[in-house]
Amino acid sequence: MSYQLRVNREDIRMGALVRAGYGSSDVKHTGIITSIEEKQSIFSEKYGITETNVIVRVLCDGELMHFDLEEDSIEVISESR
Protein backbone atom coordinates (compact mmCIF):
# COMPACT_ATOMS: atom_id res chain seq x y z
CA MET A 1 0.00 0.00 0.00
CA SER A 2 1.41 3.39 -0.99
CA TYR A 3 0.54 6.72 0.53
CA GLN A 4 2.07 10.17 0.68
CA LEU A 5 2.85 11.71 4.01
CA ARG A 6 2.50 15.49 4.03
CA VAL A 7 4.39 17.60 6.54
CA ASN A 8 3.88 21.24 7.32
CA ARG A 9 6.57 23.79 6.53
CA GLU A 10 6.89 24.44 10.28
CA ASP A 11 7.70 20.75 10.96
CA ILE A 12 10.87 20.64 8.88
CA ARG A 13 14.13 22.21 9.98
CA MET A 14 17.71 22.17 8.78
CA GLY A 15 19.60 19.29 10.37
CA ALA A 16 16.52 17.10 10.82
CA LEU A 17 16.72 13.43 9.84
CA VAL A 18 14.06 12.66 7.21
CA ARG A 19 12.82 9.91 4.94
CA ALA A 20 11.82 11.29 1.54
CA GLY A 21 10.65 10.01 -1.83
CA TYR A 22 9.80 11.51 -5.20
CA GLY A 23 6.10 11.74 -5.97
CA SER A 24 4.27 8.55 -5.04
CA SER A 25 7.34 6.36 -5.59
CA ASP A 26 7.90 3.48 -3.17
CA VAL A 27 11.65 4.24 -3.19
CA LYS A 28 12.54 6.26 -0.09
CA HIS A 29 15.79 8.02 0.76
CA THR A 30 16.97 8.72 4.31
CA GLY A 31 19.14 11.74 5.00
CA ILE A 32 19.66 15.07 6.71
CA ILE A 33 18.09 18.36 5.57
CA THR A 34 20.83 20.74 4.45
CA SER A 35 18.69 23.64 3.23
CA ILE A 36 15.12 24.81 2.71
CA GLU A 37 14.39 27.32 -0.04
CA GLU A 38 11.19 29.01 -1.19
CA LYS A 39 11.10 29.64 -4.93
CA GLN A 40 8.50 31.83 -6.58
CA SER A 41 7.64 31.32 -10.23
CA ILE A 42 5.02 32.63 -12.65
CA PHE A 43 2.09 30.25 -13.06
CA SER A 44 0.18 32.43 -15.53
CA GLU A 45 1.62 35.52 -17.18
CA LYS A 46 -1.75 36.42 -18.64
CA TYR A 47 -3.43 36.69 -15.21
CA GLY A 48 -0.31 37.52 -13.20
CA ILE A 49 -0.56 34.43 -11.02
CA THR A 50 2.53 33.23 -9.21
CA GLU A 51 3.17 30.06 -7.23
CA THR A 52 5.59 29.41 -4.40
CA ASN A 53 7.39 26.08 -4.14
CA VAL A 54 9.37 24.97 -1.10
CA ILE A 55 12.47 23.01 -2.13
CA VAL A 56 14.08 20.82 0.54
CA ARG A 57 17.66 19.69 -0.05
CA VAL A 58 18.56 16.42 1.66
CA LEU A 59 22.00 14.82 1.92
CA CYS A 60 21.47 11.07 1.33
CA ASP A 61 24.46 8.71 1.15
CA GLY A 62 26.80 11.51 0.07
CA GLU A 63 24.43 12.76 -2.64
CA LEU A 64 22.47 16.02 -2.44
CA MET A 65 18.85 15.40 -3.46
CA HIS A 66 16.09 17.98 -4.04
CA PHE A 67 12.49 17.42 -2.95
CA ASP A 68 9.44 19.64 -3.48
CA LEU A 69 7.44 19.91 -0.26
CA GLU A 70 4.10 19.93 -2.13
CA GLU A 71 4.79 17.19 -4.68
CA ASP A 72 7.08 14.75 -2.86
CA SER A 73 6.67 12.81 0.37
CA ILE A 74 8.82 13.87 3.33
CA GLU A 75 8.64 12.30 6.78
CA VAL A 76 10.56 13.75 9.72
CA ILE A 77 12.23 10.90 11.63
CA SER A 78 14.20 12.94 14.17
CA GLU A 79 14.34 16.68 14.72
CA SER A 80 17.60 18.50 15.32
CA ARG A 81 17.88 20.39 18.58
How far apart CA 47 and CA 55 sit, in angstroms, is: 25
Per residue in 43-72, pLDDT (tens digit) is 888 998 999 999 999 999 999 999 999 899
Residue 33: CB atoms within 10 Å: 21
10 three-state secondary structure: helix
- The pLDDT of residue 1 is above 70: no
Bridge partners (DSSP) of residue 31 are 18
Q: List, in order of start, the domains of the chain with CATH numbers.
A: 9-78 (2.30.30)
Q: Provide the pLDDT confidence category of residue 7 given band limits of 50, 70 and 90.
A: low
**pTM (predicted TM-score):** 0.78
Residue 12: pLDDT over 90:
no
